[in-house]
Amino acid sequence: MINIAKIYTEQETSLNPIMGKRIAVLGYGSQGRAWALNLRDSGLDVVVGLERQGRSWEQAKKDGFEPVSTEDAVKKADIVIFLVPDMAQRLVYREKVQPYLREGMDLVFAHGFNIHYKLIEPPNFVDVYMIAPKGPGPTVRDFYVKGGGVPALVAIQQDTSKNALSKALAIAKGIGATRAGVIETTFKEETETDLFGEQTTLVGGVMELMRSAFQTLVEAGYQPEVAYFETINEMKMIVDIVYEKGFSGMLKAVSDTAKYGGYRVGKEVINDEVRQKMKEALDRIRNGEFANEWIEEYNRGSPALKQLMNDVDNSLEEQTGRKLKELIERGKPKS
């Protein structure tokens, strides 16, 4: 069954439901900085709450905020937005948010992980909702500054005030998302699809596809620089055309030789075995296995994650990219 999505746009949404309310943005990283700045530029009352003085604290001050401790931000807030890493949210909630919850407060998320997998179980006297931008934090800021907005999903988990949707849409408007459009979803759908996307395509799939192709060429004796241009650097140009003009537009921009070769070999590489693996990844997301594994990894101090970051950093493809950086920068369009 296909449900037709409800899409909210700029005209049918208003900032009024949250105007004058105090908004605490917890965390000042990828999304935190973008949200705090966009909400402030939209005329809303934002306070940045952070755990300790450090890099985020300095950045927030540089951007003109007066950051305060998480507790102090929460104590004075009507709306609390969780923009610390997913794995940190439970502890921040238990120690710094829960003790200060008052009736009529809102708990807001940018991803459904902690609510969907029940790591955070808020009391029934607060509203719980999500605005999930479908793009990286720096892009959320960049698009907003340039008059646009990254599309987002909105979901309501708890609607004690009977006004949660209009407040969620107001925040979506405040970060610029309604300039594009905001789709209504559930915490379950957002959490499962977001995890699936980053695992199989956006982060894991695309990166390993590019790295595997690079490594195949280099192992066959081709120059790393040539392999890098072919399998990694050109990806942006191809994906940019898909973004602007869809797959049909991309196919029109490449040669007939590429179209035929891509048609012939693409489905051989990304075959039924790969689709089966995608299905299994989705199953592990849906039955909670992935969430449990990630929580355990995090509790051990994220050794696998650290290893991955290290391996990638030291890989030949990354070294080659660093070597070619100056050349690539020189060639970028100037306006």
Ligand X SMILES: NC(=O)C1=CN([C@@H]2O[C@H](COP(=O)(O)OP(=O)(O)OC[C@H]3O[C@@H](n4cnc5c(N)ncnc54)[C@H](O)[C@@H]3O)[C@@H](O)[C@H]2O)C=CC1
Residues with a catalytic annotation lie at 111
Q: Measured from the CB of residue 229, what is the shortest distance to ligand X2X in angstroms? A: 26
**What tokens does 139 get?**
């892009």
Closest CA relative to residue 177, chosen from 110, 112, 125, 129 = 110
Q: What is the residue whose two structure tokens read 């081709």?
A: 222
242 counts as binding ligand X2X under rule CB under 6 A: no
Q: Measured from the CB of residue 108, what is the shortest distance to ligand X in angstroms? A: 11
Q: Measured from the CB of residue 35, what is the shortest distance to ligand X in angstroms? A: 9
Q: Flag whether 137 is marked binding.
A: yes
Per CB under 6 A, residues contacting ligand X are: 27-32, 50-51, 56, 83-86, 88, 92, 110-111, 132-133, 136-137
86 counts as binding Mg ion under rule CB under 5 A: no
Among 12, 58, 95, 198, contact with ligand X2X (rule: CB under 6 A): 198
**What tokens does 1 get?**
């069954």
Q: Flag whether 198 is marked binding.
A: yes
Among 51, 106, 194, 317, contact with ligand X2X (rule: CB under 6 A): 194
Among 7, 203, 239, 312, contact with ligand X2X (rule: CB under 6 A): 203
Write down how long the chain is.
335
Q: Flag whether 112 is marked binding.
A: no
Q: Flag whether 268 is marked binding.
A: no
**What tokens does 136 get?**
């990286």
Distance from the first to the final alpha carbon of the chain: 46
Cα–Cα dist 49/60, whole Å: 10
**The entry of ligand X, Mg ion, ligand X2X, none that residue 181 binds, CB within 5 to 8 Å by partner kind:** none
Closest CA relative to residue 172, chosen from 162, 183, 163, 161 = 183
Q: Flag whether 255 is marked binding.
A: yes
* Cβ proximity of 139 and 103 under 8 Å: no
Cα–Cα dist 192/178, whole Å: 23
Q: Measured from the CB of residue 7, what is the shortest distance to ligand X in angstroms? A: 19
**The entry of ligand X, Mg ion, ligand X2X, none that residue 202 binds, CB within 5 to 8 Å by partner kind:** ligand X2X
Q: Under rule CB under 6 A, which residues in 160-179 are in contact with ligand X2X?
A: none
Please report, as a single letter, which amino acid is at residue 215: Q
Helix locations, 146-255, DSSP H: 164-174, 177-180, 187-197, 204-219, 224-228, 234-253
Could you tell me which residues are beta bridge partners of residue 132? 153
Among 51, 106, 127, 194, contact with Mg ion (rule: CB under 5 A): 194
Could you tell me which residues are beta bridge partners of residue 8? 182
* Cβ proximity of 174 and 18 under 8 Å: yes
Comparing every residue's Cβ against ligand X2X, the nearest one is: 198
Q: Measured from the CB of residue 86, what is the shortest distance to Mg ion in angstroms? A: 8
Comparing every residue's Cβ against Mg ion, the nearest one is: 194
Residues near ligand X2X, by CB under 6 A: 136, 194, 198, 202-203
Residues near Mg ion, by CB under 5 A: 194, 198
Q: Which residues are annotated as a binding site for substrate?
A: 255
